[in-house]
Structure 1
Amino acid sequence: MTDTAILHIPEQDKPLNKKQKEFNILSDTIEALDRQIADLQQAYDEMLRRIPSDLDPLVREYQGYRADIVNLWDRTYEAEHFRKAYQTKLAFLITENAYDLIKNHALSDLKPVFNKYSPVDIDVLLEEERLREVSRIKDPAFLLESAYEPEPEVSFHELSEEEQQRIKAERREQRMDQRTREAQQAKTTKSVRSVYMELVKTFHPDRETDEAEKLRKTETMQRITKAYQANNLLDLLKLQMELEQTDRNGLENLNKNQLSYYNKILKQQVEELDQQKTAIQQKISAICGLPWQHANSQVTVIAKFNTNINELKAEIKNIKKVYKHWLVPSQLKAYLKPFQIPNQPEDDSDE
């Protein structure tokens, strides 16, 4: 965390002017962002640490029960209790669930089951999907429109023309935002270098003859170099103030040009920290499903992660009951009776 206490103008005999107030607001904002980013990073690290021990085993257990149900449906399909309408529904459920478990959860033992009910071999389907993905990635139009975007869940070229145009418009806007952020980053880096070079000119110890002063400048240069390597504008700004012999009590005497310069540097730091905050929020969202705009504290993030774990435990408990329930053919039939295959007319021929 960056110590920003020195970057605050105290209000004494007269009220602060607009630039002085802006200086304090920016300083406070940086301090708050710095704390929040550190807090969110701790939350992210804690989730990564807990996933192998707390989440992954539950996911494997749940998907294992799904596989057990697919195998139950497979055995039931051959039973005398079920006529054609129910068998059609079972075949649909078997192929839909088996495909997901094979493709997304590496349960390849279900391939023979899938192939019993699908006119196309599972390996052929998986290879076709892989080729579509390769073709989509190599498409120049796709590359042009999605330079900075994550892959969509559905192949771009399988979408309607209207949906394709909507996605392209979103990507153009997001690409422009990315370029703006890159320009801001370049601007920030330039400011860091500018402040750094000015400090080096003053504090470089090589030409200093006085040993005590040389030692002081050597220590100062170590601080300057550390801040520069970390791209830390705030620490460099503090050192800039030291160069100008500006302490906390003297900040109120900064002239208009000095304040404008410092406010410009602080604004750039706020922009950079905002980008860092958004980046960690989006990484958190990808893990626990919390909307990234709501990932504002370690407490909130870990609470959501714990909720996900508890919900998965409840789902495991429920799917175990469902499996046991469906071991009785009449109860499975009661589930299948109202079940409707998507985009297919209801068949009441068994009634």
Structure 2
Amino acid sequence: MAKKTAAPKPQLVHIQSPSADDAPLSKAQKEFNRLTKRIAKLEKDVQEFREAATRLRQRVQNEYRPLQTQHNAVRADLVRLFDRALETYKLTKGERRKIVDLLLDGCYDLVERGHPDLQPIFDKHAPPPASAEEEVEEERQTSEAMKKLFAMRFGIVFDPAVDVSTQEKFRAYVDEKMAAQQVEYEAAQQGQEARRATRKKSPKQQAAEAKKLAEEQRITKSVRSLYMDLVKALHPDLEPDEAEKARKTALLQQVTAAYEANELLTLLRLQLELEHIDQSHLENLAEDQLRHYNKLLREQASDLDDALYEEQQELSGFTGQPYYALTTPAAMEYDFKRQTTKLQAKIKQLAAEVLAFEHDPAALKAWLKAYRMPRAGHGPIMIQL
């Protein structure tokens, strides 16, 4: 099998430390080196994270999803066994109550997970529907709880004369109040902006704004100068050799993308690769030029930080894990193996229990004796068999 060729490392953009006889690096030069090093690491981290996240998604689809299907099939077998047990086994009232609780709270999701044939079983053992009076009282209690929540979180004052006894009425009232709050907030913001606009700026503020504008213009000019230098060198129209023309076209696309994204380090790398600048050029950059470059490099590092965080958040939405739990390829691999092993063990145990309960009612009774029903009033009941 042919050995994979390693991807070429990006050109190192670094101001070399001087010899003992020369002056030490300046503060701006040291920051330049620190930033270029940090950006190179962040680029590597983002790339490795994206590749690992793609592999993880593929493995979840190809390896973990079939296990979930298998697990749900065994759970469906348990539902059918529970139904038969309720019909044929000699069970106490407490044992029956536990089985019904497990059916309705622990397995009802199976209808939406490929087992719609179980719906009649759930319907058969579901409690009778609430009376009209009970439904009205439940709606009232829910409305009171929601009123307290919205009053505490959003400062909404509920008019006692307004009817919010149903979800529809409650939602309409809250929407109206929130819209009124938004109008008041926007009016206040516009008033503040109008006052700020009419307020005369001090000479110090005017000087600071002028300095900031001039600095931004110098930065833009510096980056554009790098860009135009590369465009002139790489323009493919006058290149007679087709292979070289294709190479220059690809490089020019890189240059344009880097310029539009304000990726200074990428432009400097390309200049080094094309030998349009060398180490002496970097070492002799003027201090004000370095400060402009460092500002852009800080922005580039910040953008990469944001990109990595967005990738982590996106993966978190896919896995259900906190974003900080899967920040490296090694962590993804470890968690996938852990989750897979856990699910395989659960399938094996549940299949053994179904087999035992089917042939030995005493085994089911012993299992039910050890099972403790969740107490009401302690948060949402979430059972997963």
Query: Into which bin does the TM-score normalised by the smaller protein fall?
Result: 0.5 to 0.7
Which residue does the alignment assign to 1:90?
A: 99
Larger CA deviation: 248-257 vs 25-34: 248-257
- The alpha-carbon deviation at position 300 of structure 1 amounts to 2.5
Structure 1 residue 50 corresponds to structure 2 residue 38: no
Identify which of 248, 253, 258 aligns with 2:284. 253
Which residue does the alignment assign to 1:226?
A: 254
- The alpha-carbon deviation at position 102 of structure 1 amounts to 2.0
Consecutive unaligned residues of structure 1, counting only runs of 5 or more, are: 122-156, 167-189, 346-351
Report the residue type matching 2:13 in the other structure. Answer: L
Which residue does the alignment assign to 1:173?
A: none
**Residues 115-160 of structure 1: per-residue CA shift (max 9 Å, x gap):** 0111479xxxxxxxxxxxxxxxxxxxxxxxxxxxxxxxxxxx9797
Answer whether contact 1:40 1:297 (CA < 8 A) is retained: yes
Cα distance 1:284–1:269, how it changes in 2: closer, same or farther (>3 A)?
same
- The alpha-carbon deviation at position 56 of structure 1 amounts to 1.0
Partner of 2:107: helix, strand, or coil?
A: helix
Answer whether contact 1:2 1:31 (CA < 8 A) is retained: no
| TM-score normalised by structure 1 residue count | 0.67
Using the alignment, how far apart are the partners of 1:314 and 1:70 within structure 2? 19
Which residue does the alignment assign to 2:364?
A: 332
Answer whether contact 1:192 1:236 (CA < 8 A) is retained: no
**Residues 191-219 of structure 1: per-residue CA shift (max 9 Å, x gap):** 998666545655665xx9xx79xxx9998
Using the alignment, how far apart are the partners of 1:245 and 1:80 within structure 2? 86
What is the correspondence of 1:1-351 to structure 2 with a 5 Å cutoff?
5-12=11-18, 13-103=22-112, 105-119=113-127, 161=149, 165=153, 197-199=224-226, 223-229=251-257, 231=261, 233=263, 234-238=265-269, 246-327=277-358, 328-343=360-375
Answer whether contact 1:102 1:111 (CA < 8 A) is retained: yes
User: Aligned residues: percent identity?
Assistant: 29
Using the alignment, how far apart are the partners of 1:75 and 1:194 within structure 2? 80
Report the residue type matching 2:374 in the other structure. Answer: P
**Residues 265-305 of structure 1: per-residue CA shift (max 9 Å, x gap):** 11111111111111222233344455422433322212221
Cα distance 1:221–1:106, how it changes in 2: closer, same or farther (>3 A)?
closer
Cα distance 1:325–1:218, how it changes in 2: closer, same or farther (>3 A)?
closer
Answer whether contact 2:227 2:255 (CA < 8 A) is retained: no
Answer whether contact 1:95 1:114 (CA < 8 A) is retained: yes
Answer whether contact 1:65 1:320 (CA < 8 A) is retained: yes
Cα distance 1:34–1:120, how it changes in 2: closer, same or farther (>3 A)?
farther
Report the residue type matching 1:43 in the other structure. Answer: A
- The alpha-carbon deviation at position 24 of structure 1 amounts to 0.7
Using the alignment, how far apart are the partners of 2:117 and 2:79 within structure 1? 11
Answer whether contact 1:9 1:20 (CA < 8 A) is retained: yes
Answer whether contact 1:73 1:90 (CA < 8 A) is retained: yes
Using the alignment, how far apart are the partners of 2:148 and 2:111 within structure 1? 28
Structure with bigger gyration radius:
2
Using the alignment, how far apart are the partners of 2:41 and 2:62 within structure 1? 33
Tell me the number of residue pairs that the alignment of Structure 1 and Structure 2 aligns: 281
Using the alignment, how far apart are the partners of 2:116 and 2:147 within structure 1? 29
Consecutive unaligned residues of structure 2, counting only runs of 5 or more, are: 1-6, 130-144, 155-216, 378-385
